Amino acid sequence: MVKLSENQAKNQMALLIFVFIFIAFLLTSLLLLSGNHRRRIRRLPPGPKGWPIIGNLPQLGPKPHQTLHALSKTFGPILSLRLGAFDVIVASSAAAASQFLRTHDANFSSRPPNSGAKHVAYNYQDLVFAPYGARWRMLRRLCTSHLFSTKAMEDFRQVRGGEVEQLVRRIAEKGGEAVDVGVEVNTCVTNALTRVTVGRRVFGGNGEKEGAEEFKEMVVELFRLAGVFNIGDFVPGLGWLDLQGVVKKMKKLHRRFDEFFEGIIAEHREAEEKADSDGKRSDMLSILIGLNEEASGEGIKLTDTGIKALLLNLFVAGTDTTSSTVEWALAELIRHPNLLKQAQIELDSVVGSDRLVSESDLPNLPFLQAIVKETFRLHPSTPLSIPRIASKDCEIDGYLIPEGSTLLVNVWSIARDPYMWPDEPLAFRPERFLVGGLHEGVDLKGNDFELIPFGAGRRICVGLSLGLRMVQFMTATLIHAFDWGLVQGQMVENLDMEEAYGLGLRKAVPLVSKPTTRLSPMAYAKNA
C-alpha cells in the first residue's frame, strides 16, 4: 500500500469534508425547493419572501417579537415564514390565537424538535418540552397536585409570606442603599419555591448573595440561548457545524445546571437517610424520588434524569419570569409616580401602616391587580409563546396549516393590537381593567385571548396560579413597604425600558433603585 504523506492526508480529509458539505447543501436545496413548490400550490398564509436555503431567518433580527409584530401589519394576523426547511406560522391577533389554542388546541399540543430541549432540558425529559402524551400528563398532574392546587397554595402560604417578609427586612436593613431589584426579588422567589420543592432554602447563609447572583446569571443565560433561532434547528445537515456556537454554550450551561441539581438530590437523599422518617413525604422532591423507586399509576418510572429535568423547569420558569415581571411593574410605577401614589393609598387603606401585606389582602386591592394585569400586557414574560407543532393538516381562516409546521403566538403583538386595545395601547394605563374600563373583567388565565401571558389551551403554564399570586404579593408588598427613587443623576423620564429578548422578556438594563421605608418601624420587625 502507498502510504500518504501528512499533507496528502490533510488534503483528502478537507476534500471529504467539502464533499459532505456540498451534498448536505444540495439535499437541503432540493428540500427547500420542494417546500417552496408546496407553498405555491397550497394555501399557506401570506408572508415575506425569504433567502435561499435559510429562508426568513436573517429577517427576524435581534428582537423577533417586534419584527413579527411589524410583519403582521403588512401580511395580516396569520402569517407564514419559511425558516430553513420548515414552515412557521405566526398568530398575531386574539382571534387568530383563539383559533389555534382553543378550536384546534388538540392539534397543536406537542413541541417541535429544538436544540434547547435536547441539550439543556435533558433531551425532552422535562415538562415544558415533553411530547404530548401519558408522561407529560403524569408530570403535569404531579406539579398541579403538589405545588399549584388550591390546597397546596394554601398549605404553603406561610412559606411564601416568610420569604417576602425576609425580603422586606433585608432591603430595609440596607438603610436606603440602592438595590438591584431583579436580584433581590429573584432570591426571594427562588427560596420560596425551593422550600416547597426540595424542603429547604437554596440560597441561605453567608454565601446567599453570591449564590443567588450566580444562579440568576445561569437562568438569564438559559433564557437567552433558548430564545435564539438556531440555524441548525431549521436547516437539516448544518446542525453539526453549530454555526452560531449556540449548542456549545448550551452544553456548557447544561453541565452547570446538572451539577447544581445533582448536589440538591444527593443532599436530599442523605438528609432523608439520617432523619427518623415515619414514611411521610411532604416536599415535591421526596415524592419525585419515591416515583424513582416505583412506577406511577401509568406505569411510568422517573429516573434521576427525569427528576433533574423537572427541577430545571420549576427552578427556571418559576423564578425568572416572576422576578422579571415584578421588576417591570416597579419600573413602570417609578415612571408613573401618580400611579404609584394611587396604589399606595389603596394599600394603606386596606393594610394600614403597622404591618406588611398578606396574601389575604390581595382580593381587596383592585387597583394593584390592575397594575399587575397591565404589566403582564405590556411586558409579557414570554413574548413569543413556546413553539407548538401541528400534528396534522388543518384549515384556519381559509389557510392550510400543514402537518409538521411550527406555531408561534406573538403574545407581545396581541397586547398591542389597536383593534383589541383602542384606548392608547402603548401606554401604561391600569385603569383600563377597573370597573367601567374597556377591559373590566378580563383575566390572565387563558380565557380572554387578548391577554394570554401564561398561554392558553392544554399547554398553558402549569404554574399560572403561583406565578400570578407571587407577582401580586411581592409587587404589593414592595410598593407598600417602600418609596422608590432612582440613583443619583438618573431622571425618571430617562429610565431605560429597553427589552432584552429571549425565551423570557427581561429589562435590558437591570432596575437599580433606592428604597426608603414608609411604614411604622414595627412593620419591619421580625415576625411583625
Counted domains in the chain: 1
pLDDT in tens, 25-80: 555 555 555 454 444 456 999 999 999 999 999 999 999 999 999 999 999 999 99
Is there a domain that residue 29 lies in? Answer: no
Judged by DSSP in three states, 449 sits in coil
Query: Per the domain annotation, does 15 fall within a domain?
Result: no
State which amino acid sits at residue 328: W
pLDDT in tens, 163-209: 999 999 999 999 889 999 999 999 999 999 989 898 888 776 544 55
Residues 264/314, Cβ–Cβ less than 8 Å: no
Average pLDDT of the chain? 89
If one compares 137 and 41, the residue with the highest pLDDT of the two is: 137
pLDDT digits (tens, 9 = 90+) for 318-341: 889 999 999 999 999 999 999 999
Q: Residue 53 falls within a domain, yes or no? A: no
**Rounded-to-integer distance, Cα 252 and Cα 259, Å:** 11
Q: What does pTM read for this prediction?
A: 0.90
Read off the pLDDT of residues 389-406 as tens digits, 9 standing for 90 and up: 999 999 999 999 999 999
Alpha helix locations (H) across 382-463?
411-414
As given in the structure block, the three cell numbers for residue 411 are 403574545
Is 2 within the bounds of a domain? no
Annotated binding site for heme: 461
- Which DSSP state fits 318? T
Averaged pLDDT for residues 236-256: 94
In this predicted model, what pLDDT tens digit does every residue of 341-356 receive, in sequence order? Answer: 999 999 999 999 999 9
In a domain? residue 261 = yes
Give the pLDDT band (50/70/90) at residue 15.
Answer: very low
Which residues belong to the annotated binding site? 461
φ, ψ of residue 61 to 5 degrees: the values are: 75, 180
* Residue 179, beta-bridge partner list: 513
User: H/E element holding 486?
Assistant: strand 482-486
Asked whether residue 321 is domain-assigned, the answer is: yes
- The amino acid at residue 297 is G
Q: What percent of the chain has pLDDT over 70?
A: 87
Sheet harboring 78-83: ordered strands across? 78-83, 86-91, 406-409, 388-389
**Considering the domain boundaries, does residue 36 fall inside one?**
no
Domain range enclosing 339? 64-75+123-524
∠ CA 451-455-461, nearest 5°, is 130
Contacts of 396 (CB under 8 A, 6+ apart): 78, 96, 99, 100, 103, 104
Cβ atoms of 164 and 477 within 8 Å: the answer is: yes
Residues in the chain: 528
Closest CA relative to residue 78, chosen from 67, 89, 70 = 89
Q: Is residue 293 assigned to a domain?
A: yes
Question: At 393, which CATH number?
Answer: 1.10.630.10
